Amino acid sequence: MKLSVIIVNYNVKDYLRQCLGSVIKATATIQTEIWVVDNNSVDESVEMIKTDFPMVNLIENKDNKGFSKANNQAIVKATGQYILLLNPDTVVEENTFIQTIAYLDNHPQAGALGVKLIDGNGRYLPESKRGLPNPETAFYKIFGLTYLFPKSKKFARYYLGHLQYNNIHEIEVLPGAFMLLRKSVLDITGNLDEDFFMYGEDIDLSYRIIKSGFKIIYFPHTTIIHYKGKSTAKASINYVKMFYNAMIIFARKHYSGKKFKTFGYIINFAIYFRAFISICNNAFKKSILPVADILFFTLFFYLFSNYWYIIKFNAIGTYPNAIIKVLFPMYVFIVIVSNLFLGLYAKNCRLQNIIKSSVYSTVFIVLLYSLLPESYRFSRLLTVSGGVLAFLTFLFNRLFLTIFFPQIHTLITNKNKKTVIVATKNDYIRICEFYSIPLSEKSQLRFLEYSPDLLQSKLSEIIKINKPDEIVFSGTSLSSEQIIRTISLFNKLNITFKVVFSDSMVFIGNNGIENMNQIISIPVNRIDIFPAKFIKRCFDVFFSLMILTFFPIWSLMVKNKKNLFVNLVNVLTGKYTFVGYSACTNIGNLPELKQSILSITELVKNKVVTNDMINKINLNYANNYSVKTDLLLLFTAFKQLDKTKHQ
């Protein structure tokens, strides 16, 4: 037997299915046995293996024995010349085993080999090549110097950052996701140390291989996807303790005396330090939104109250201190409590909940206002206007975080993701039919018919025009190598990549697993229907009010101050909109928009823009409205706000 592939599984059935599919393709010409050791999964992984992969040798554990013990169970039974320890959340290329085994066959001093790893979005994973941990290396990593100086031979030694990741190198630690080992070397070094439950066993085995006189090779001429840690939350304190305790076990085993004590002090400090950072990070994420709501709402409410005082009393002044110091904070308190009850400070919130919170709190405040003594009744209109200001403030804060910091908070609207499906025509139809997708929804998908020679060029053009949120590859139409290469090519774009097999029930990507029916319905976000129309109007009102409030400052940036003021009033009253179409031949076929101050093509003003390109830009803006586009254009072309462009 040439190769034994060993996979330890724990509740990642769908990743395992994809992994086994890629392994079977990659071993078509190699004499191979495949072992799966299941650590008492409860997600029907065992049933799936027995039904879909009867050729796999299955070991069923009745409890979770950890990574080392489970691998050793299969290693002692394996008969291959080479042993591959492979994570279940990986996808290998069709030529991965052919190339790696050929290298080891030709280099007898190489005792083990690892490959280039990328995540599900095509980003290179630095753990593909690592150095052995020691007190100095651990110190640099814990305190962030490794990330500040990623190519330093000294500070980035943990990831061997000074070594080019596209060249073959001799390294010190194998990546745990893909460990290709000579069986003869394991006979010398011994199998995995079972003192390590989940982390550190790869470092320990690598160290023993080097001490036995063999080399460990980083081989980047083949690439695999590693979705990374789907069984463990990497940011959790539990993960931090497990990982660093594994480092202590390694240090106790291989270091002695003063060096071990130093290493132990650093590791113990790291556990508490990382836990402290994790707590602070969580506290910051949970507090940033309510703090922003309180600060901005208080500021805008105060400014607006002064503005309304001038209009109402025709004099410069403010409301009495008793009102400002007592009633204003009460107003803010009631609104924030309403937000809490309606879930506006959860990780995700819905637009309708912002509306509800503003309406409910305003109604409650108006009722409370009617019960106040006459001396405390400052203004009914100001009270109601506060509800409008609250809504605009809360909407802006959530839109800002959604656009720039989605990991902290995301505003959910009815807009679904724009998706491109890359498949053969027959496979595309089969996927849609299998999941019972209605024809009306099917016609709204971006479909790229797979063509080996034109895949990357066609996909590049579609990305430029349609700007998709995600790209889905059919695993039955494309090879693993084609998928991996394509993901690597577009990895710097803000796009989510997923892989789906027409005979499975899920999309698999770096962000997790989703059912096809959850994400396949992708209506365009037309600018003339809710919620896009509503959001665009809110955007116009909010920023016209903001600019008018700080008009003396904004007016310094433009030439025609009078025209700027007129434009802002027209936007506020709904006669104008800030951003609209650029003049073109087919503008009459687009959804109707109000007269605009800025045109969408201002974003590409330094490029040669043809009529065909203008048509496409207008069409994309009309069918896939994004407030991010309006925001970007407003701040890049603010000097032109004193002009009006007629359509």
Handedness of CA 506, 510, 512, 518 (dihedral sign): negative
SS3 of 145-202? HHHHCCCCCCCCHHHCCCCCCCCCEEECECCCCEEEEEHHHHHHHCCCCCCCCCCCHH
Asked if omega into 175 is within 30° of 0 (cis), the reply is no
Biggest CA–CA distance in the chain, Å, is 94
Q: Compute how many other C-beta atoms are within 10 angstroms of the C-beta atom of residue 635.
A: 9
Token pair listed for 146: 């490794």
CA dihedral 588, 461, 480, 72 (to 10 degrees): -90
Higher pLDDT, 322 or 178: 178
CB 241 within 8 A of CB 271: yes
**Could you tell me whether strands 178-182 and 512-515 are parallel, antiparallel, or unpaired per DSSP bridges?**
unpaired
Question: What are the b/e assignments for 49-80, b being 16+ CB within 10 Å?
Answer: beeebeebbbbebeebbbbbbbbbbbbeebeb
Element (H, E) at 591: none
Phi, psi of 323, deg, nearest 5: -70, -45
CB 201 within 8 A of CB 174: no
In this prediction, residue 259 carries a pLDDT of 59
**Could you tell me whether strands 169-171 and 215-226 are parallel, antiparallel, or unpaired per DSSP bridges?**
antiparallel
CB 97 within 8 A of CB 207: no
CB 508 within 8 A of CB 15: yes
Q: What is the pLDDT of residues 194-251, one digit of tens each?
A: 777 667 788 888 888 998 999 999 999 999 999 875 544 444 555 555 666 666 666 6
Q: What is the pLDDT of residues 384-425, one digit of tens each?
A: 788 888 888 888 888 888 888 877 787 876 455 677 888 887
Least confident of 62-71, 159-168, 553-562: 553-562
Angle between helices 13-26 and 45-52 (to 10 degrees): 30
What is the C-alpha to C-alpha distance for residues 379 and 390, in angstroms, rounded to an integer? 17
What is the C-alpha to C-alpha distance for residues 288 and 582, in angstroms, rounded to an integer? 38
Least confident of 109-123, 160-174, 280-294: 280-294
Q: Which domains does the chain have, with CATH numbers?
A: 3-129+165-231 (3.90.550.10), 283-412 (no CATH), 419-519 (3.40.50), 532-640 (no CATH)
CB 300 within 8 A of CB 388: no
Across 448-472, average pLDDT:
75
pLDDT band at 178 (very low <50, low <70, confident <90, very high): very high
Task: Specify the DSSP class assigned to residue 374.
Answer: G
Question: Among residues of the chain, what percentage have pLDDT more than 70?
Answer: 76
pLDDT band at 520 (very low <50, low <70, confident <90, very high): very low
Least confident of 20-24, 150-154, 180-184: 150-154
Angle between helices 13-26 and 480-489 (to 10 degrees): 110
In this prediction, residue 180 carries a pLDDT of 96
* CA neighbor of 574 nearest in space, from 600, 545, 537: 537
What is the C-alpha to C-alpha distance for residues 447 and 424, in angstroms, rounded to an integer? 9
Across 555-580, average pLDDT:
87
Length of the chain equals 647
With 80 as the cut, is the pLDDT of residue 281 above it? no
pLDDT band at 646 (very low <50, low <70, confident <90, very high): very low
What is the C-alpha to C-alpha distance for residues 107 and 105, in angstroms, rounded to an integer? 6
Beta-carbon contacts of residue 222 (< 8 Å; ≥ 6 apart): 92, 93, 95, 96, 99, 100, 115, 116
Please report which residue ranges of 143-189 form alpha helices under DSSP H.
145-148, 183-189
CB 345 within 8 A of CB 339: yes
CB 245 within 8 A of CB 238: no
Q: What is the pLDDT of residues 583-632, one digit of tens each?
A: 765 566 677 888 888 888 777 655 556 776 777 678 778 767 777 788 88
In this prediction, residue 429 carries a pLDDT of 72
In this prediction, residue 258 carries a pLDDT of 60
In this prediction, residue 511 carries a pLDDT of 53
Across 466-485, average pLDDT:
79
Question: Among residues of the chain, what percentage have pLDDT more than 90?
Answer: 21
Average predicted confidence (pLDDT) for the chain:
79
In this prediction, residue 441 carries a pLDDT of 42
CB 509 within 8 A of CB 89: no
Least confident of 428-432, 439-443, 507-511: 439-443
